[in-house]
Amino acid sequence: MREVLDERFPGRALDRDVWFPYYLPHWSSRAASAATYEVRDGELRLWIPPEQPLWCPDLHEEPMRVSCLQTGNWSGPVGSTRGPQPFADGLVVLEEQPAFWGHTPRYGRIEATVRATVPARSMAAFWLSGTEEVREHSAEICVAEVFGDTVRDGTADVGVGLHKFGNPDVSEDFTTVRLPLDLGRDHTYAVDWAPGSLVFTVDGQVVRRLDQAPDHPVQLMLGVFDFPARAAADETEVPVPELVVSSVRSRPPA
């Protein structure tokens, strides 16, 4: 497992010792959850082409398409309920996933420099999700989450904060912050994570502080999502959400 991450995406191939290009495949399969991506010119591009099918169409309540990379994953055997991020009651593993730990930090400074195209019915996000090897280790640190329908006049609502999920040691504390952002330009979204403290920044400016923090490893997650049911009535073409990542850095506390 990589202890320090300084990812600049050299060459034309994804570093598969660090990155896992599937979204929660234990609840579906690798084939059905594979990201659409390319590495070129020192950047990672994630996007959702019009022909990309729905993710977990028979299980996820809202129709959703997704291209996402993770730095960790695992599951129990087929038929078990053991796996990260169960999104509904009664889920069972459909395809067993061997443990993969590319980079799973616990505390430190974690940041990504990205730009995005986020149509009104879509979302882009960078978050840190508990690995859930122990079920209670499930809290999620949302570094940045932007829905396209909030983008207007050079500003956007950026979701930041903490989701407790099954972690009894933290409280839910998530909100959006209205920021002057051109999402089509590179911005650096970061969190400084210490025991009992989370400090969120955008381009070096503090946007939120929390006096609590999870105390368990997380996996990094970068993705774009599309929600077809939110399409405008006059929509004639399927939009293509995109997230372009120029760097991801993660280092332990000094």
Domain boundaries, the chain: 5-251
Note the pLDDT of residue 16.
Answer: 98
CA 84 to chain centre: 13
Rounded Cα distance between 55 and 27, Å, is 10
What's the pTM value of the predicted model, to 2 decimals? 0.97
Q: Which residues of the chain have pLDDT under 70?
A: none
Note the pLDDT of residue 98.
Answer: 97
Pairing mode of beta strands 72-73, 242-251: unpaired
Rounded Cα distance between 145 and 151, Å, is 12
Evaluate whether 5 touches 18 at the Cβ level (below 8 Å): yes
Comparing C-alpha atoms, which of 37, 35, 11, 14 is closest to residue 25?
35
Rounded Cα distance between 97 and 30, Å, is 9
> Which distant-in-sequence residues (6+ apart) come within 8 Å of 193 by Cβ?
105, 107, 108, 109, 110, 128, 141, 213
Question: Which parts of 62-220 fold into alpha helices (H)?
Answer: none
Model confidence pLDDT, tens digit, residues 187-202: 999 999 999 999 999 9
Note the pLDDT of residue 2.
Answer: 87
Comparing C-alpha atoms, which of 170, 173, 185 is closest to residue 142?
173
Residues forming a β-bridge with 178? 157
5-251: CATH class: mainly beta
Contacts 24+ apart (CB under 8 A), 75-78: 75/26
* Cα–Cα distance list, 131 to 60, 201, 240 (Å): 21, 24, 30
Q: Which two tokens mark 162?
A: 């903490």
